[in-house]
Amino acid sequence: MAPVSRAVTRPMTSPGAAKVPRRRAPVAVWRWVILLLAGAYFILPLATAQRFAGLSSFSSVFTQPGFAASLWLSAQLAIMTTLITLVLMVPTTIYVHLRLPRLRRVLEGITILPIVIPPIVLILGVLQVAPLWLKASQWLLGLEYVILAMPFAYRAIDAGLRALDLKTLTEAASSLGAGWVTTLWRVLLPNLGTALMSATILIVALVLGEFTMASLDLWVTFPVWIVQFDQLDAQMSVGASLFALYATWVILLAITLVGTRQARRTGRGEVTLFTATRIQTTVSES
Amino acid sequence: MATSVITGTAKAGTSVSLRDVTRAFGQVRALDGMSLEIAPGELVALLGPSGCGKTTALRIVAGFEHADSGQVLVDGKDVSGVPAARRDMGMVFQSYSLFPNMSALDNVGFGLRMRKMGGAGRKGRALELLEMVGLADKARQYPHQLSGGQQQRVALARALAIEPRVLLLDEPLSALDAQVRVQLREQIRSLQQRLGTTTLFVTHDQEEALSMADRVGVMRAGNLEQVAGPAELYARPATAFVAEFVGTMNRVPAELAADGTVTALGTSVPVAAVKEGAATDAAPGPVDVLVRPEGLSLAAAEGGNGIVAGRTFLGAVTRVSVLLSGDAEVRVDVPSTAAAALAPGASVQVSLPPAAVLIAPRRGAGEAATVPVG
């Protein structure tokens, strides 16, 4: 999972572009070789899966029992997790950057914990202590996802804030008469567009692909449904997986295009397609 | 020294005073009981090396820092408890501070929006301000489409749009290249004089301070060494530190006699009393005489007291470096027409003017340049 956050925090530049001209040709060749190998590594499984599922299974996926309900549940969870995570993490991260810069390392350490602790440990612990009413609600799962999403959201927002001269911008807004809320709303958030977009993409991808917690929490989210369905009709299940994959790609591509257009207008960093596709690979992994 | 208000668009001048302001960051005393009075409509520059506390002083006036003790009065009222957002002070920052998500026009209109000014009025006023800084044609551009100088002009327009009681400039020119810097400082000064806005300007560039300010406050180690008009500061520095920080200053080894005269380069001259009534507290013995390059005279002479080490052509004058006996080096300005005879290696005679001179404790002998002169 680590490469994903790296892809987000660092804008892609072509490595080796600044090398000595004489060595350029071999570098270019190797670049293509690596690209083709990596491409084959990713595309082959997809192509075979597509071949196994066949085209006809696509149309019938939508009519399968439980499809709509599980997809709707996953969508709800994705929205809920994104909102809660951003509302919690954006002001916190900004505050730490501005007022408690020395705590940045600590916060970075804390936010890495959900990656270090296996989800199965987290969920078993939570199920032990959570009150019954919360266990009966899908909110519990949403709140668990907030914890899981924290590392990704924090890194994306942190990278966005580093690219801004946060102190000067807030002081400029303040000297012009803007309060804390206005500064956040009119000055900081619009300039964090790319970072928020990255965070959103990561969170949505995470929630749409998460299996362990959902299944132990006894919720039939879309990934859980796919696995359950797999036992009934493997072909259909693979068709559903592929559908999910393609649908997410289209959504991510749309977000990327919108984000890049806006970023170009204000001259800020860009949401690259590369970032988006890299995130997608995480989804298929989990 | 209030500047006349020509357009009268600004609020009738505001006075600012800092009274015994102290601020420490851990062990470091950034400000150590600093006091400063700024008259309505005046432009005061705080000049000093980095770490002298000048930026801290400005930030305390702006409300971004608080003072540990002391007061900041604006029009006689203590503003210590007033948050920055309600101090009505326009500020231009050292780093580019325009909001990247807004066009130049929206940036300038931001403060007006915060003051609940309606869309049409706001746009009109913002355009007016952009026109004032000569950027009306860039109204629709975003900050990343503007050059550094243009960005700082928009930032100036943005700060002035709210008709601030006080304008605060925190090294606004230091990120710009030399030519733009000179143009912009003239523009800032003429706007400031036209609007009559009381202005506090922080810089480490003495040329900037001397060319723009009504008065310059030279700061050192958290306090003001001297506050005076540029001409006075240059001609009658109150301390050795000011003398050497402002302009170019030579140190010539000399002997102070008990009668208050000092002998250097074979001439005995009186010591200048800078502060009225202040006694010369330097003890008789070895001292340095402080003298500007234009204050020394130079003539080619066989067997003179110095040897020409180098020349720098500066236009009308040429600055000649002369190596004196005893390893001291002085710089002397001579008319460029006379400099031709002073090739490196030539023997020359350097002499002191007959007028009274400033002295400082001999460098290297005890603490250098801390004792006030005169």
Cβ within 8 Å, pair B95-A165: yes
Instruction: Classify residue A239: in a domain, yes or no.
Output: yes
Residue A164 corresponds to which tokens in the numbers above?
């801004």
In whole angstroms, what is the distance from residue A98 CA to residue A188 CA? 12
Q: What's the mean per-residue pLDDT of chain B?
A: 86
Residue A63 corresponds to which tokens in the numbers above?
């009519």
In whole angstroms, what is the distance from residue A157 CA to residue A149 CA? 12
pLDDT at B73 over 60: yes
Question: Into how many domains does chain A fold?
Answer: 1
Closest residue, chain B, to A170 (C-alpha)? B97
Interface check for A81 against chain B (CB to CB < 8 A): the answer is no
Instruction: Classify residue A50: in a domain, yes or no.
Output: no
* Domain CATH for A267: 1.10.3720.10
Cβ within 8 Å, pair A175-B159: yes
Considering only the beta carbons, identify the residue of B85, B98, B168 that sits closest to A177. B85
Instruction: Please answer whether residues B45 and B1 qualify as being in contact, where contact means their C-beta atoms are separated by less than 8 angstroms.
Output: no
Closest residue, chain B, to A187 (C-alpha)? B99
Instruction: Classify residue A94: in a domain, yes or no.
Output: yes
Q: Look at residue A221 in the predicted model and tell me its pLDDT.
A: 87
Instruction: Classify residue A111: in a domain, yes or no.
Output: yes
Q: Give the predicted TM-score (pTM) of the model.
A: 0.78
Of B3-12, B283-292, B345-354, the least confident: B3-12
Q: Look at residue B275 in the predicted model and tell me its pLDDT.
A: 47
Cβ within 8 Å, pair B96-A165: yes
State the CB neighbour count (10 A cutoff) for residue A114: 18
Closest residue, chain B, to A268 (C-alpha)? B100
Instruction: Classify residue A4: in a domain, yes or no.
Output: no
Of A59-73, B97-111, B174-188, the least confident: A59-73
Q: How confident is the model at residue A271 (pLDDT cuts 50, 70, 90)?
A: very low
pLDDT at A6 over 80: no
- Domain housing A146: 73-285
Q: Look at residue B229 in the predicted model and tell me its pLDDT.
A: 94
Q: Look at residue A285 in the predicted model and tell me its pLDDT.
A: 32
Q: How confident is the model at residue B273 (pLDDT cuts 50, 70, 90)?
A: low
Interface check for A169 against chain B (CB to CB < 8 A): the answer is yes
pLDDT digits (tens, 9 = 90+) for B320-331: 999 987 778 899
Instruction: Classify residue A37: in a domain, yes or no.
Output: no
Instruction: Please answer whether residues B153 and B139 qualify as being in contact, where contact means their C-beta atoms are separated by less than 8 angstroms.
Output: no
Q: Which residues of B touch A185 (CB under 8 A)?
A: none
Interface check for A38 against chain B (CB to CB < 8 A): the answer is no
Considering only the beta carbons, identify the residue of A168, A178, A267 that sits closest to B95. A168
The single-letter code of the amino acid at B275 is K
CB burial string B299-322: b at 16+ within 10 A, e below = eeeeebbbebeebeeeeebbbbbb
Rounded mean pLDDT, B86-108: 93
In whole angstroms, what is the distance from residue A246 CA to residue A77 CA? 20
Instruction: Please answer whether residues B311 and B318 qualify as being in contact, where contact means their C-beta atoms are separated by less than 8 angstroms.
Output: yes
- What DSSP designation does B22 have? E
If 0-12 CB within 10 Å is exposed, 13-18 middle and 19+ buried, where does residue B276 land?
exposed
Considering only the beta carbons, identify the residue of A165, A175, A267 that sits closest to B142. A267
In whole angstroms, what is the distance from residue B154 CA to residue B106 CA? 10
Instruction: Please answer whether residues B247 and B292 qualify as being in contact, where contact means their C-beta atoms are separated by less than 8 angstroms.
Output: yes
Instruction: Classify residue A43: in a domain, yes or no.
Output: no
In whole angstroms, what is the distance from residue A33 CA to residue A31 CA? 5
Distance from CA of A176 to the nearest CA of B (A): 5
Q: Look at residue A25 in the predicted model and tell me its pLDDT.
A: 66
In whole angstroms, what is the distance from residue B344 CA to residue B335 CA? 16
Instruction: Classify residue A207: in a domain, yes or no.
Output: yes
- Residues in Cβ contact with B332 at an 8 Å cutoff, skipping those fewer than 6 apart: B250, B293, B296, B297, B298, B319, B320, B322, B350
Instruction: Please answer whether residues A196 and A86 qualify as being in contact, where contact means their C-beta atoms are separated by less than 8 angstroms.
Output: yes
Strands B43-47 and B285-291: unpaired
More confident residue, A60 or B14: B14
